[in-house]
């Protein structure tokens, strides 16, 4: 995963994935597309980072995986947020907002 201006903060990918899955259960490929689209092509997540992140989240019980049919009739592994994941996301989002707010405040000072 890269942003030209350096690597994503640790744990950010997890937050992004959780947030996107909250909206709607998705498979891995669609998730990469959505990250690109929503971030206006700023964030580009490659598969080598995404899938391990998904497995890690699955192991921690924050997301669930199910095999389902895609609209064009293929079998795909669809991830969705678990209850624990929702709770985790809420916590993470709150601390992220606090952090980014603080950072913004610091950057605003000349």
Partner 1 sequence: MHFLERARWWLGAAFRRRSRDREMREELTLHLEQATERLMARGLSAGEARALARRELGNLTLIEEEGRDARGIQWLESVSADARFAMRHFARRPLTAITIILVLALGIGVNAGIFSMIQAAMMRPAPGVPRNDALVRIRGTSLIRQEGRLQPRGLTQSELRTLASRRETFGAVAGWVSDDLVLDRGESRDPVTLVGQFVTPGYFSILGVRAALGAGLSASAPDAAGAELQAVVAHSVWVKELGGDSAIVGQSITINDIAVRVAGIAPPRFRGPVAGPGRPGIWLPIEARPVLSHGSGGVADQDSMVYQAVARLTPGATLERAATIASVVTRATVAHLGQDCCVHSSDVVWLRGDTEVARAGEKFVLATVLGGLGLLVLLVACTNVSALLIGAAVARRQEIAVRLSLGASRRRLIRQLVTESGMLALAGGALGLSLFWVVTRVLRSVIGADYTDFDPDFTTIGFTAAFALGVGIVFGLSPAFHATRAGLASVLKDSGAGATARSRLQRGFIIAQVALTQPMLIGVAVFVLGIASEADVVVAEAQGERVVSARFDLYRGAGTPAVREQRVRELMTRVVAVPGVAAVVHDASAYAIVDASADPADAPGGADPAFRVRVHLEGAAPGYFAAQGIRIVRGRDIERGDSIGRDMAGVIGSDLARQLFGTTDPLGKRIRTHSRRDGETRTAVVVGVYDSAQPTTRGSGPRIYSADGARWPRHAYLIRTTGPADAVMPAIKRVLRSDGTDLMPRTLETLAAREQQQRDEMLQVTGGAAGAGLLALFLASIGLYGVVSLAVGQRRREIGVRIALGAAPGRVVAMFYRSGVRLSVVGLAIGLPISTIALRVIVTSVPEMPSINVLPMAVVIAVVVIGVASVASWLPARRAATVDPVKVLRLE
Binding site for partner 1 (CB under 8 A): 27-30, 33, 46-48, 51-53, 55-56, 59-61, 67, 74-77, 84
**Range list of H helices, the chain:** 12-23, 28-38, 47-59, 83-108
CA distance 64 to 37: 24
When the beta carbons of 44 and 98 are compared against partner 1, the nearer one is 44
Q: Min. distance of Cβ 48 from partner 1 in angstroms?
A: 5
The alpha carbon of 19 is separated from its chain's Cα centroid by a whole number of angstroms, namely 6
CA distance 11 to 15: 6
Q: Min. distance of Cβ 40 from partner 1 in angstroms?
A: 18
When the beta carbons of 2 and 100 are compared against partner 1, the nearer one is 2
When the beta carbons of 4 and 74 are compared against partner 1, the nearer one is 74
Task: Using the Cα atoms of residue 58, residue 39, residue 104 and residue 98 in order, give the sign of their dihedral.
Answer: negative
When the beta carbons of 25 and 28 are compared against partner 1, the nearer one is 28
């Amino acid at each position: 995963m890269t942003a030209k201006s350096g690597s994503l903060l640790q744990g950010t990918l997890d937050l992004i994935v959780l947030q996107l899955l909250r909206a709607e259960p998705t498979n891995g490929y669609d998730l990469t597309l959505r990250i690109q689209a929503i971030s206006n092509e700023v964030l580009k997540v490659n598969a080598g980072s995404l899938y391990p992140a998904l497995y890690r989240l699955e192991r921690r019980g924050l997301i669930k995986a199910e095999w389902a049919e895609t609209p064009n009739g293929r079998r795909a592994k669809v991830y969705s947020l678990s209850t624990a994941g929702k709770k985790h996301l809420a916590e993470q989002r709150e601390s992220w907002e606090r952090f980014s707010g603080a950072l913004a405040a610091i950057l605003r000072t000349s």
